[in-house]
Amino acid sequence: MAALKADPKIKVEMPLDTRVVYMGMNCQKGVTKNKLVRQAFNYAVDKKAICKRLLFDCGQPMDAPFSSMLWGYTRMAHQYGYNPEKAKALLKKANFPFDNVVHMRTPHGRLLADKQVSEAIQAYLQAIGVKAELRTYDWPTYIAAQRKPLDKTELELFLLAWGPLFLDADFALSGCFTCAVNPPPRGLAPLSTAIRSSTRS
């Protein structure tokens, strides 16, 4: 990217996309059932640094549950900025079990720098005292695990992406936050839960 931008004969354009890359949190199982823990994990991750250093500014931190390119976009009043001290305070308030291992899962080569982004998030969580174990799966294995009911899956934190076919807020939100798209399968949209906290690719 840097080499292309440095070439005066080449004009580099980087338009925003409708696809959102995020770290999903399982609200039905494990420590992420606790809202305070989910909030703490959001504050623990420096999303701007991930976009700059890993995605080479080819992504932007989210400021809403879906892309600003979609009809109906509204910026959330509350933003989860990078604040590790606040993250630690929330974990303390939640009586977080620091002896527990949080299970993270990621595909490799399916999404933009997916494994590297997951590794960065793992490091941010470890920096606030969370024991985070990251496993990398090929895409078919990853999807098979994703399609299990939330209370039976091993997924606690998992990297996914969602790009709505219809460019409006309703399709963007329903594809990620409604019960109908959660296993057992009743629709075509991918499973995702909880707070989105990563980048737009």
Reported as a single tens digit per residue, the pLDDT across 114-135 is 999 999 999 999 999 999 999 9
Residue 4 domain flag: no
Residue 174 has a pLDDT of 84
Task: Indicate whether 11 belongs to any domain.
Answer: no
Distance CA 130, CA 185 (A): 32
> What is the rounded CA–CA span in Å between residue 200 and residue 179?
24
Does residue 10 form part of some domain? no
Task: Return the CATH number at 188.
Answer: 3.10.105.10
Please check whether residue 56 lies inside any domain of the structure: yes
Host domain of residue 45: 16-200
Number of domains making up the chain: 1
With respect to residue 50, please indicate whether it lies within any of the assigned structural domains.
yes
Distance CA 124, CA 130 (A): 9
Would you say residue 115 lies in a domain? yes
Mean pLDDT of 177-201: 49
β-bridge pairing 20-25 and 131-137: unpaired
